[in-house]
């Protein structure tokens, strides 16, 4: 009888050891179990899943998690640039990049079609990411957010199941002028009948003294494009791609004084911070194409209601209309300065950076003329 009781007690003790996991302080937490079923619906195997629980905060009216806590939990690294208000996170073989107030997540140089992920910064300049980053960015299973906590699955199988990064070994600075022309040759003109400007101030790399910066893209104005441009001039998507940003809820600068505050700060810093530069671009649509190529269409007057994040577009799709939002003309309300500003990036880098101004013009003319 004593032998039987002893055996039973040992069995109960061993079962308890397999059901509970103790932390370094001796606290025990029951691990979640997942039961698989066979064809008859009977449970045949149980597996223990590794779940992480992290605090959820409210910043700027959004549910967020603190970046430092998240990276510590998943063994990642991060760097927060207070001047540009930009965040870089490295997890496994992926690099994530976010800028304050820009509703686009960059993953290994390409842009993800989701409007659920943003960088939020509190009054102490502490970076947070919206809870959507955990599910959409890390591509893992998230339980409902309850009691200011969120729990998500985090194990090696999650990383192994990540969608493969499309980026192959790509060196922007290794491409010759001819190779860059070939790389971008599928793109059609954004404005029908327009010609590429030869005015230096309209082309990439031109200085912008008023904000201590550099012009990052191509300007399409009426007087240099050879075609009439009004707020009814359509802008085309230029090729097959996916909309990754569409500023339907864009809010213009409240006054010239508010805009000038941004310019004064840029003058003081000696550069234009990323978050300010984005404001100055006004209402925007971003389109991601294959091979890491991405277009930023800026200063738009309006965007068709049916253009939404995640939409597939092609060279015949109208993604917006020419405007002047973000510019002094828009803030002053004088109706002038209508033009399209277009930035071309490849895996997060401006395409023109390796080339001289003459070579940039050669590339643009070869593509569109």
- Looking at the chain, the domain(s) classified CATH 3.30.457.10 span 51-160
In the chain the first and final C-alpha atoms are separated, in Å, by 96
pTM: 0.86
- Looking at the chain, the domain(s) classified CATH 2.70.70.10 span 172-368
- CB burial readout 104-132, b (16+ within 10 A) else e: bbbbebbbbbbbebbbbbeeeeebbbbbb
Q: What phi-psi label fits residue 337: left (phi over 0), alpha (psi between -120 and 50 degrees) or beta?
A: left
Render pLDDT for 171-218 as a digit per residue (tens, 0 to 9).
999 999 999 999 999 999 999 999 999 999 999 999 998 888 899 999
H/E stretch holding 54 reads strand 51-55
Render pLDDT for 10-69 as a digit per residue (tens, 0 to 9).
444 444 444 444 444 433 344 455 455 555 555 555 555 689 999 999 999 999 999 999
Q: Are 248 and 184 in contact (CB under 8 A)?
A: no
Give the pair of three-digit tokens for residue 331: 């803030």
To the question of domain 51-160 being in CATH 3.30.457.10, the answer is: yes
> What class has domain 172-368?
mainly beta
Q: What is the pLDDT along the chain (369 residues), one digit of tens a residue?
A: 444 444 444 444 444 444 444 444 433 344 455 455 555 555 555 555 689 999 999 999 999 999 999 999 999 999 999 999 999 999 998 999 999 989 999 999 999 999 889 999 999 999 999 999 999 999 999 987 777 999 999 999 999 988 776 666 789 999 999 999 999 999 999 999 999 999 999 999 999 988 888 999 999 999 999 999 999 999 999 999 999 999 999 999 999 999 999 999 999 999 999 999 999 999 999 999 999 999 999 999 999 999 999 999 999 999 999 999 999 999 999 999 999 999 999 999 999 999 999 999 999 999 998
Closest C-alpha to 171, from 296, 351, 344: 351
H/E stretch holding 368 reads helix 357-368
In sequence order, the 6+-apart residues with CB closer than 8 A to the CB of 233 are 191, 321, 322
Q: What is the DSSP string of 310-354?
A: T-EE-TT-EEEE-B-TTSHHHHHT-----EEEEEEEETTEETTTT
| Sequence-ordered alpha helix ranges (H) in 188-273 | 222-225, 256-269
H/E stretch holding 296 reads strand 293-298
Residues 87, 269, 261, CA angle at the centre, nearest 5°?
95
């Amino acid at each position: 009888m004593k032998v039987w009781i002893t055996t039973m007690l040992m069995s109960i003790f061993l079962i308890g050891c397999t059901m509970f996991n103790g932390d370094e302080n001796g606290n025990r937490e029951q691990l979640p179990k997942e039961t698989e079923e066979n064809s008859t619906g009977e449970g045949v195997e149980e597996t223990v899943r590794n779940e992480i629980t992290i605090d959820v905060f409210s910043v700027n009216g959004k549910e967020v998690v603190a970046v430092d806590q998240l990276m510590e939990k998943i063994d990642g690294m991060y760097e927060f640039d207070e001047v540009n208000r930009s965040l870089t996170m490295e997890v496994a073989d992926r690099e994530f990049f976010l800028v304050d107030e820009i509703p686009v997540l960059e993953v290994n140089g390409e842009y993800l079609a989701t409007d659920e992920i943003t960088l939020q910064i509190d009054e102490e300049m502490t970076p947070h990411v919206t809870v959507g980053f955990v599910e959409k960015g890390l591509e893992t299973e998230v339980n409902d957010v309850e009691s200011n906590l969120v729990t998500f699955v985090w194990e090696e199988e999650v990383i192994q199941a990540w969608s493969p990064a499309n980026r192959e070994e790509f060196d922007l600075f290794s491409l010759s002028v001819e190779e860059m022309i070939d790389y971008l040759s599928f793109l059609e003109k954004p404005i029908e009948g327009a010609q590429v400007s030869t005015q230096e101030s309209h082309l990439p790399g031109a200085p912008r003294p008023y904000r201590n910066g550099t012009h990052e893209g191509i300007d399409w104005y009426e007087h240099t494009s050879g075609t009439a441009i009004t707020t009814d001039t359509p802008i085309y998507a230029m090729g097959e791609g996916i909309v990754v940003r569409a500023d339907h809820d864009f809010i213009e600068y409240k006054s010239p004084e508010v805009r000038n505050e941004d310019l004064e700060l840029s003058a003081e810093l000696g550069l234009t911070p990323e978050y300010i530069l984005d404001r100055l671009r006004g209402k925007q649509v971003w389109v991601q194409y294959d091979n890491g190529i991405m277009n930023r269409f800026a200063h738009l007057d309006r965007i068709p209601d049916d253009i939404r994040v995640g939409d597939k577009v092609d060279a015949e799709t109208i993604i917006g209309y020419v405007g002047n939002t973000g510019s002094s003309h828009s803030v002053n309300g004088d109706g002038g300065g209508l033009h399209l500003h277009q930035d071309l990036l490849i895996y997060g880098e401006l395409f023109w950076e390796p080339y001289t101004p003459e070579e940039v013009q050669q590339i643009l003319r070869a593509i569109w003329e």
